[in-house]
Amino acid sequence: MVLLSSCWQFPMYDNTSYSLQSVAHVYLSLEDCEARKEAKEAYKTWVLREEISWRQRSRELWLKEGDNNTRFFHRMANAHNRRNWLSRLKVDDCWHTEELDLKNSVVGAFNNLYTEEGGWRPEGEVFAALSDLGKDKAPGPDGFTMAF
């Protein structure tokens, strides 16, 4: 505490030079370094032992109450499935309730969504899209910019 109060009395103009001066006079002796290493190693071993102890306790609890946990998780999974169940679906103003109709309507909706109209694009549309691209923008898949 005395060291801390004495440090606060010094005017601080440059933090880095003051920090270097305050650290420069603190040297650990060889015995202090060895004691610090031993304390760190002892701490690591006790932390490892505590982790092993907690792991063993959790396994013991699971073995003792494993069926209860399994039942709980199955209940949660079944509740999740009930919440996400589609009993009917409206596609194109038509309600589908049968499982096969549901599957076909979903597949058909996505096929319509991701299919492109046949035929070529008009030349004006292609030219306008290429003209809008910046010359110095990110390169395309081939690695070249539009300026190339």
Residue 23 CA to residue 21 CA, distance in Å, equals 6
Q: Are 89 and 95 in contact (CB under 8 A)?
A: yes
What is the rounded radius of gyration, in angstroms, for the C-alpha atoms of the chain? 36
Each residue's pLDDT, cut to its tens digit, for the chain (148 residues) gives 555 555 555 555 545 555 555 555 566 677 788 888 888 898 898 888 888 888 877 777 666 666 666 777 788 888 888 888 878 888 888 888 888 888 888 898 888 888 877 777 788 888 888 777 777 777 667 777 777 5
Beta bridge partners of 96: 89
Predicted confidence at residue 125, as pLDDT, reads 86
Predicted confidence at residue 15, as pLDDT, reads 56
